[in-house]
């Protein structure tokens, strides 16, 4: 298949949503937003994101936060294991890396709650319909590529869906072998100079155009001319 990145990036730069963690994508900001968005819609997560950062502006503040206050800041988002893991990882980052996330994909993946979530992870909370799927969220890949510019994949449920349609490949994306194949395809198209924008563009395309619920919006898709499912009528 022809490389998708020129058309994808052109679309992304013209159409992406303006979001606070995109305007100021420090590793802490990307980390926090990725964890919040794992089971929560962007619109629902944004007020929590702003409030959380106002109270805990950096990783040392998160590491030192009292449990009750932390619980209050997360109240309403659900899946409290996410915030417990955030703090566990923050404490490790303070102890091992001087309070800054390491610019190293494998070191990031070793932190609690940051590597791949288990395939077929928890279903989105009913309070937040439309949340990102809990399949293979890869926070380490997002931080490494978006904040540090490292050429690594960030493959979440949105990206897997886009690639299953692009290649008209209907194998189960919860199968780890299939996910590895899809991840290799994602990397074949990744431009070395813009891994973060490419990864974000794929996630954004999956969220806005190649949507999970109902028919994808192929008429608005920058990749329609390359998409095998679109050509076959199986999207």
Interaction site with ligand SF4 (CB under 6 A): 162, 165-166, 209-210, 216-218, 221, 223-224, 227, 229-230, 235
- Nearest residue (CB) to ligand SF4, 64 versus 232: 232
- Nearest residue (CB) to ligand SF4, 56 versus 202: 202
3-class state of residue 116 by DSSP? strand
How many angstroms separate the Cα of 215 from the Cα of each of 42, 86, 194, 211? Answer: 21, 35, 30, 7
- Nearest residue (CB) to ligand SF4, 142 versus 226: 226
Query: Exactly one of 34, 66, 75, 204 is catalytic; which is it?
Result: 34
Q: Give first-to-last CA distance, the chain, whole Å.
A: 17
Q: Are 90 and 96 in contact (CB under 8 A)?
A: no
Q: Are 93 and 99 in contact (CB under 8 A)?
A: yes
3-class state of residue 135 by DSSP? coil
- Nearest residue (CB) to ligand SF4, 29 versus 230: 230
Active site residue 34: yes
CB of residue 211 to ligand SF4, shortest distance in Å:
8
CB of residue 43 to ligand SF4, shortest distance in Å:
22
CB of residue 89 to ligand SF4, shortest distance in Å:
34
Q: Which residues contact 126 (CB under 8 A, 6 or more apart)?
A: none
CB of residue 168 to ligand SF4, shortest distance in Å:
9
Q: Which residues are catalytic?
A: 34
């Amino acid at each position: 298949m022809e490389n998708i990145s020129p058309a994808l990036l052109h679309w992304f730069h013209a159409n992406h949503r303006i979001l606070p963690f995109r305007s100021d994508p420090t590793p802490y900001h990307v980390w926090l937003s990725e964890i919040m968005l794992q089971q929560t819609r962007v619109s629902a997560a944004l007020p929590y994101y702003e409030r959380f950062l106002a109270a805990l502006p950096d990783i040392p503040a998160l590491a030192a936060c009292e449990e009750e206050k932390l619980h209050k800041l997360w109240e309403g988002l659900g899946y409290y294991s996410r915030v417990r893991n955030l703090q566990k990882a923050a404490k490790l980052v303070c102890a091992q890396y001087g309070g800054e996330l390491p610019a190293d994909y494998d070191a990031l993946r070793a932190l609690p709650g940051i590597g791949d979530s288990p395939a077929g992870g928890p279903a989105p909370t009913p309070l937040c319909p439309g949340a990102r799927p809990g399949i293979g969220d890869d926070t380490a890949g997002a931080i490494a590529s978006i904040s540090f510019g490292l050429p690594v994949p960030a493959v979440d449920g949105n990206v897997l869906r886009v690639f299953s349609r692009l290649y008209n490949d209907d194998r189960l994306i919860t199968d780890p072998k299939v996910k590895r194949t899809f991840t290799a395809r994602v990397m074949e198209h990744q431009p070395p100079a813009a891994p973060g924008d490419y990864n974000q563009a794929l996630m954004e395309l999956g969220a806005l155009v190649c949507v999970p619920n109902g028919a994808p919006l192929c008429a608005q898709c920058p990749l329609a001319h390359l998409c095998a499912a679109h050509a076959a009528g199986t999207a």
